[in-house]
Structure 1
Amino acid sequence: MKIDERHLIQLAAVVKTGGVTEGAALLGMAQPAVSRTLSMLEKRLGEPLFLKGRRPLQPTPLGRALADHGQTMLAASRKASDTIESFRVGKGGTVRIGGTPFFMDALIAGMIAEFQNQHPDVRIDQIYGYFPDLRAALKADQIDLAICPIDILDEGSGLEFQQILPGRNVIACRVTHPLLLKRRLQPQHLLDFPWVAPPPGSPLLADLRSMLLSFGATELRIRYTGGSLFSVINYLKGTDALTVLPHGVVFAQRNEKSITALPVNVPHPERALGLLKRADAPRMPAVDHFARHVQNGFDNLKHLIKRHEEAVVWGL
């Protein structure tokens, strides 16, 4: 015998509240409609659903068993409604993001934690990548948002880019590096030390090569390559090696007092960190909320990063 799920839900509401009027109110229905449903259900079953003469209403064993099924459906319906409402207001769902490793580890990971403290029901799925891979992931609908530095976004790319931080590279070293004791650095001083290369595929790798060639290097003295941000930082802390990093990444390590920037003006391409997404992407409230959170986070950081930058007297 097939029973309409809506009838079981109405039965569950009456059993839960102990009265037809109360059950109807719980469901937002009219009392006569619920009464008709229960009467029709009893006739179809040929069995009573409630004990006669009991107030509040008490179900028969069969009524209780059917009400339990209805309660499961009612709870699922309520949960589905809550899920829909959470999605609509951006308090639930999944945000799929991708980003360049150094920026994600140094700055974005902390912003993700802050965001989820405010939106605990939003799940964040993250991948690492550089611009070509992230662009492909966006177009393949594998991620909703990319956070990466780019130079120029081709017209007709189908993507939208929102800048959140101007690009600037610096030469990073440990806070006790001997070059920090020199009053005026010269390019040849920088070439006396080994270098840490950014991971393959990082735009910083091309920046490093271009910078060293502009300083007159005939060969690159690369001692360590391919590490994560924190492996690079830990390596720098124990050696006199140098590397090139975005200034925002060095800024994020300021409280650790382990690495700093040399007072050297580094040439680098025009590049900005920003949020990248598909222009035709469907509206996702949780993604929009997360993007605004990151934008606001960098708006608050910009003046601090600028002050940190101005605290160094750029020499070359």
Structure 2
Amino acid sequence: MKLDSEHLEILAMIVEKGGLTEGAEALGKSQPSVSRTMALLEDRIGAPLFEPGKRPLRPTELGENLARIGARIHAMNGEASRLVQNYRKGHAGRLRIAGTPIFMDGVVSTFIADFQTRQPEVQIAQSYGYLDQLTTNLRNGALDMAIVPLHPSMAPSDMTFIPLLPGRNVIACRAGHPLMRRGAITLADIEPYPWIAPPPDSPLYRDLQRALKSIGKEDFRVSFSGGTLASIISVLARSDSLTVLPYSVVFLSRRTAGLEALSLKIEHPDRQLGMLTYDDASPPPALRPFALFLQDEFRQLEARIQHEGQVTRRRG
């Protein structure tokens, strides 16, 4: 025997409120329609739901047990409705985000954690990749958003690129590095030290080559290469090696990882870190609040970086 779940919900409300009229008002229905529904349910099960002649209305044992089931159905329906509403508003769902490893681990993951503190029902699946792979995954629906360093004019014609942070690289080292005790640093000062190279297929590796070339150092000794940001930081912390990193990564890692930027100007990359999305995709609703959150967080980060630069110049 299959019972109409809505009929059981109505029964639950009548029992909870203590009468047909009260239950009908709580449901926004008329008393006659609720009464007819209960008559249909009694016919269906072949037994009374309420004890005859009792005022206030008193359910039979069967009626009370069915009402408990109806209350659970009502609660589950309410939960389902809230889930759908949260999904439509972007407060729930799953996002697939990918980007270049150094930026994802050094900057974006921190913002993802802050976003999920505010939106705990949004699940974020983070992965890594470089531009060619990321654009392929955006087009085939495997990704909702890529976060990549890119010159806006180089964005694919079928995609939207929203810049987040201007490109700015620095020579990074550990906080206690001997060069940090010097004032002005010259090319001769950095000559004795080995270098940590990012993965050779990364934009940052090309940045390293261009940056050192811009200050007249075309040959450099590599002591470690191809690691993750965590391994690069570990090697920096335990050696006098140098490397080139985005300043945003160094800025956010100073307290936790003890990184510092040398006061030696190098060539900055002609690109910006930004959000890349595929125009023909149907993104989950949570992508829009996530994108707005990222834009706000990066605006605050850029303002903090600029403020520190102004303070440093005034002190100098």
**TM over 0.5, shorter chain:** yes
Return 255-264 or 203-212, whichever deviates more.
255-264
RMSD: 2.4
**Inter-partner Cα distance in structure 1 for 2:19 and 2:298:** 56
Matched, 1:281 2:281: yes
- Which runs of structure 2 are paired with 1:220-239 in the superposition (5 Å)? 220-239=220-239
Percent identity of equivalent pairs = 43
Name the count of aligned residue pairs: 313
Amino acid at match of 1:90: G
User: What is the CA-CA distance between 1:155 and the residue it aligns to?
Assistant: 6.1
Matched, 1:291 2:302: no
**Inter-partner Cα distance in structure 2 for 1:59 and 1:37:** 15
Q: 1:37 corresponds to which residue?
A: 37
Q: 2:195 corresponds to which residue?
A: 195
- Residues 152, 272 of structure 2: 8 Å contact kept: no
Return 218-227 or 194-203, whichever deviates more.
218-227
- Which runs of structure 2 are paired with 1:130-141 in the superposition (5 Å)? 130-141=130-141
Note closer, same or farther for the CA distance 1:309–1:201 as it changes in structure 2 (3 Å cut): farther
- Residues 91, 119 of structure 2: 8 Å contact kept: yes
- Residues 138, 145 of structure 1: 8 Å contact kept: yes
Q: 2:24 corresponds to which residue?
A: 24
**Inter-partner Cα distance in structure 1 for 2:25 and 2:157:** 54
Where does structure 1 lack aligned partners over 5 or more consecutive residues?
none
**Inter-partner Cα distance in structure 1 for 2:278 and 2:23:** 47
User: What is the CA-CA distance between 1:49 and the residue it aligns to?
Assistant: 1.0
User: What is the CA-CA distance between 1:222 and the residue it aligns to?
Assistant: 1.3
Q: 1:96 corresponds to which residue?
A: 96
User: What is the CA-CA distance between 1:129 and the residue it aligns to?
Assistant: 2.3
Note closer, same or farther for the CA distance 1:154–1:213 as it changes in structure 2 (3 Å cut): closer
Note closer, same or farther for the CA distance 1:137–1:25 as it changes in structure 2 (3 Å cut): farther
Amino acid at match of 1:305: I
Q: 1:85 corresponds to which residue?
A: 85
Q: 2:243 corresponds to which residue?
A: 243
Secondary structure of the equivalent of 1:281? coil
Secondary structure of the equivalent of 1:265? coil
Where does structure 2 lack aligned partners over 5 or more consecutive residues?
none
User: What is the CA-CA distance between 1:84 and the residue it aligns to?
Assistant: 1.8
Note closer, same or farther for the CA distance 1:26–1:283 as it changes in structure 2 (3 Å cut): farther
User: What is the CA-CA distance between 1:248 and the residue it aligns to?
Assistant: 0.7
**Inter-partner Cα distance in structure 1 for 2:58 and 2:153:** 68
Residue-by-residue CA offset, 1:58-103 (whole Å, 9 max, x unaligned):
3223223333333332222111111122123222222322222222
**Inter-partner Cα distance in structure 2 for 1:76 and 1:82:** 10
Amino acid at match of 1:177: H
Residue-by-residue CA offset, 1:30-57 (whole Å, 9 max, x unaligned):
2221111101221233210112233443
Amino acid at match of 2:101: P
Return 149-158 or 241-250, whichever deviates more.
149-158
Return 244-253 or 254-263, whichever deviates more.
254-263
- Residues 14, 24 of structure 1: 8 Å contact kept: yes
Note closer, same or farther for the CA distance 1:6–1:255 as it changes in structure 2 (3 Å cut): same
Q: 2:212 corresponds to which residue?
A: 212
User: What is the CA-CA distance between 1:309 and the residue it aligns to?
Assistant: 4.2
Secondary structure of the equivalent of 2:286? helix
- Residues 263, 312 of structure 1: 8 Å contact kept: no
Amino acid at match of 2:254: R
Q: 1:186 corresponds to which residue?
A: 186
User: What is the CA-CA distance between 1:282 and the residue it aligns to?
Assistant: 2.6
Note closer, same or farther for the CA distance 1:57–1:130 as it changes in structure 2 (3 Å cut): farther
Q: 2:71 corresponds to which residue?
A: 71
Residue-by-residue CA offset, 1:142-164 (whole Å, 9 max, x unaligned):
22222221135546532111111
**Inter-partner Cα distance in structure 1 for 2:82 and 2:43:** 35
Q: 1:51 corresponds to which residue?
A: 51
Amino acid at match of 2:34: V
Amino acid at match of 2:191: L
**Inter-partner Cα distance in structure 1 for 2:271 and 2:34:** 65
**Inter-partner Cα distance in structure 1 for 2:255 and 2:124:** 27
